[in-house]
Chain A
Amino acid sequence: MVSIDQYLVLSAILFSIGTFGVLTRKNAIVIFMCIELMLNSVNLSFIALSNHLGNMDGQVFVLFIMTVAAAEAAVGMALIIAFYRNRDSIAVDDFNLLKW
Chain B
Amino acid sequence: MEQIYFFIIAIVAVVSAVLVVSCKSPINNAVALMMTFVCLANFYVMLHAPFMAAVQIMVYAGAILMLIVFVIMLLNLNTVLIQKTSHSVVGAITLAGLVFFQLYYMLGHSSTTSIKGDISNELVMEVGHTQLLAKSLFVEFLLPFEIASILLLVAVIGAVVLSKRNAAAQE
Contacts and interface: CB of A to CB of B under 8 A. Distances in A.
A13 B171 CA distance: 51
A49 B110 CA distance: 14
B128 interface: no
Chain A interface, >50% SS class: helix
Interface residues of A, number: 71
Interface string A23-67: 111110110111011001001100111111111110110111011
Interface string B81-120: 0111000110111011101100110010000101111111
A1 B3 CA distance: 6
A8 B82 CA distance: 32
A14 B39 CA distance: 12
B136 A25 contact: no
Interface string B133-163: 1011100110010001001101110111011
Contacts of B104: 9, 12
Interface of A: 1-2, 4-21, 23-27, 29-30, 32-34, 36-37, 40, 43-44, 47-57, 59-60, 62-64, 66-75, 77-82, 84-85, 90-91
